[in-house]
Structure 1
Amino acid sequence: MATTWFITGTSSGFGRLLTERLLARGDRVAATLRRTEALDDLCAEYGDRLRVARLDVTDTRQVREVVDDAFTALGTIDVIVNNAGYGVFAALEEATDEQIRRVVDTNLLGSIDVIRAALPHLRAQGHGRILQVSTAGGQTTYPNFGYYHASKWGIEGFCETVAREIAPFGIGLTIVEPGATPTGFGGALDTAPAMPEYDSTPAGEVRRAIADGSFVLPNDPGRIADAMIDLVDTGATPLRLPLGSDTYHDVRASLVARLEEHEAHRDVALSVVRDELA
């Protein structure tokens, strides 16, 4: 039986790969993107199994209209994939106010608005899946990505809460965490003029590694798209799905270090408990 998907950010990267694979196997896709002409080739090939709509996820009213229209037209949507994203590559002092607002508006508030718009429909139909595309940087950090991390750590905290709230309605939510992957996202990163003060800091080291090609992108984008589809097909609903060798190792190291630091403060943490409750 064909599955119906709603996917944001389908002009390239994981969104485009998912759309291509799902259509090829017979599913229906409601694809959204800012430049609808980017999917003209798929529209010509797959006809009415592909519904395309222009969407800028930073426009809250447009998000609601596009999501409502998709459910009205398709009847049932089984899977929502929150994939649209924006990245800014800059040290703390280098990014502009506009860049900071855009990364938060797109990755955090835009993703929240898509989920908010879809939930009434998913509850009404009594089932559904939400895949929130995050990153390894939703649980660990890398220099020059501070504002990107702020948005991704934020959406992961939001989704972890929402997953518990919506489970009683038969709706599953999984945070998908791809690692560094050659999807074109890195080339589309917004940047800012580099400050020489950061040249000899970790921010400068990462900047040089990306510039000289030594910053490794170890993961296969097609395999990541396939893993997301396979997850839905199995019916499993883990809270998080780490995808990539860097995601696995970097996030694990970050979690271990955080737990060790947490345990190191056990005594002082418990020392502030009121005497009658100790």
Structure 2
Amino acid sequence: MQRWLITGSSRGMGRAISQAVLDAGHQLVATARDTTRLADLVEQYGEAVRIITLDVTDPVAAEAAVRLAMESFVGLDVLVNSAGYGNVGSVEDTDLYDFRRQIETNLFGTIIMTKAVIPVMREQRSGHIIQFSSVGGRIGALGRAAYSAAKWGVEGFSEALALEMALIGVGVTILEPGGFRTDFAGSSTVMKEGNPIYDKVIGATIRSQRAYNCHQPGDPQRAAQVILEVSSMERPPLRLPLGTDAVTAIRRADLERLEEVEKWREMSIVTDFPSGGMTVRESAQVASADALSKARQP
């Protein structure tokens, strides 16, 4: 039996994972900003679940949630940072407050919760931290610059974190879902078309999302079962795309990045100290001219 703490438990992927965890006989601290939507879990699972109000951007509330897990279950085996959201709008039309709120929730919320559980897992010398990123954490998501900025941050933070946690027996896994049939693309999202000059990106994204909603290929219940399996692995993956669309998009983007690295390789490596007789400036000029010449060739 494992002891879990899940953020964003009231809906979407967080709710699906919470249900799967309890169905599997584990213990859970379920959290949400509005806990009224979690009352049925207590009715159904009784002492196996504890409920607490949590704003992931509040370090005091994060500590309280971890303390509840310790008081109730005398330990914590799995943290799932599921809480998050992403609005649609151009960079120009997204005000700084909205940018900050999305980054606070998606990135700093993850950092705050992670830091809250590390002392417990360090003392145990065991545990698993599961971070929700997104395909938008690997590929710039159209119309979601703030969301992508946060999720790319989650990726870098978690990759560095994994190296530290390996020293104390704690696993880290970054989940990268594609489209799933949750309300992420519905009521959870504010969509602002803004300046029509950006319609080919922003307007197209909004129209596509409205058409896509309720038709996404991803099944939250199946994803929850995969996450349960990952949580029990001795050597879990660092990154795990979820869904055929995620695998396809990430693989294509990674191949394109490798091609770009090779295309501009000569221009990149000219920044090293030269091994020959040319000065750094002369070497850079030659390499830059060669690279530009090749790039202009049909």
TM-score band, normalised by the shorter chain? over 0.9
Using the TM superposition, give the Cα deviation of residue 114 of structure 1 relative to its aligned residue in structure 2, in angstroms. 0.5
Show structure 1 runs of 5+ residues with no match: none
Counterpart AA for 1:118: V
Question: What does residue 238 of structure 1 align with?
Answer: 237
Using the TM superposition, give the Cα deviation of residue 110 of structure 1 relative to its aligned residue in structure 2, in angstroms. 0.7
Question: Are 1:34 and 2:33 counterparts?
Answer: yes
Using the TM superposition, give the Cα deviation of residue 96 of structure 1 relative to its aligned residue in structure 2, in angstroms. 2.2
Question: What does residue 9 of structure 1 align with?
Answer: 8
Report the CA distance shift for 1:197/1:224 in structure 2 as closer, same or farther (over 3 A). Answer: same
Using the TM superposition, give the Cα deviation of residue 11 of structure 1 relative to its aligned residue in structure 2, in angstroms. 0.5
Q: How does 1:173-192 map to 2 (within 5 A)?
A: 173-187=172-186, 188-192=188-192
Report the CA distance shift for 1:106/1:164 in structure 2 as closer, same or farther (over 3 A). Answer: same
Per-residue CA deviations over 1:88-127 (Å, capped at 9, x if unaligned) read 1111112122211110000000100100111011000110
Report the CA distance shift for 1:202/1:59 in structure 2 as closer, same or farther (over 3 A). Answer: same
Question: Are 1:265 and 2:264 counterparts?
Answer: yes
Using the TM superposition, give the Cα deviation of residue 30 of structure 1 relative to its aligned residue in structure 2, in angstroms. 0.8
SS at match of 2:171: strand
**Structure 1 contact 95–191 (Cα < 8 Å) conserved:** no
SS at match of 1:85: coil
Using the TM superposition, give the Cα deviation of residue 70 of structure 1 relative to its aligned residue in structure 2, in angstroms. 2.1
Show structure 2 runs of 5+ residues with no match: 281-298
Question: Are 1:222 and 2:188 counterparts?
Answer: no
Using the TM superposition, give the Cα deviation of residue 230 of structure 1 relative to its aligned residue in structure 2, in angstroms. 1.2
Distance in 2 (CA, whole Å) between partners of 1:225 and 1:24 is 11
**Structure 1 contact 8–82 (Cα < 8 Å) conserved:** yes
Using the TM superposition, give the Cα deviation of residue 214 of structure 1 relative to its aligned residue in structure 2, in angstroms. 8.3
Per-residue CA deviations over 1:16-62 (Å, capped at 9, x if unaligned) read 11111111121100111111111111101111100111000111222
Question: Are 1:198 and 2:198 counterparts?
Answer: yes
The answer to which of 20-29 and 210-219 deviates more is 210-219
SS at match of 2:52: strand
Using the TM superposition, give the Cα deviation of residue 209 of structure 1 relative to its aligned residue in structure 2, in angstroms. 1.8
What's the TM-score, normalizing by structure 2? Answer: 0.88
The answer to which of 242-251 and 138-147 deviates more is 138-147
The answer to which of 9-18 and 88-97 deviates more is 88-97
Distance in 2 (CA, whole Å) between partners of 1:121 and 1:233 is 18
Counterpart AA for 2:222: R
Distance in 2 (CA, whole Å) between partners of 1:102 and 1:195 is 22
The answer to which of 135-144 and 203-212 deviates more is 203-212
Distance in 2 (CA, whole Å) between partners of 1:88 and 1:19 is 25
Q: CA RMSD in A?
A: 1.8
Report the CA distance shift for 1:6/1:205 in structure 2 as closer, same or farther (over 3 A). Answer: same
The percentage of counterpart residues that share the same residue type is 36
What's the TM-score, normalizing by structure 1? Answer: 0.94
Per-residue CA deviations over 1:5-24 (Å, capped at 9, x if unaligned) read 11000010111111111111
| Greater radius of gyration (CA) | 2
Using the TM superposition, give the Cα deviation of residue 205 of structure 1 relative to its aligned residue in structure 2, in angstroms. 1.8
**Structure 1 contact 209–215 (Cα < 8 Å) conserved:** no
SS at match of 1:228: helix
Q: How many residues align?
A: 276
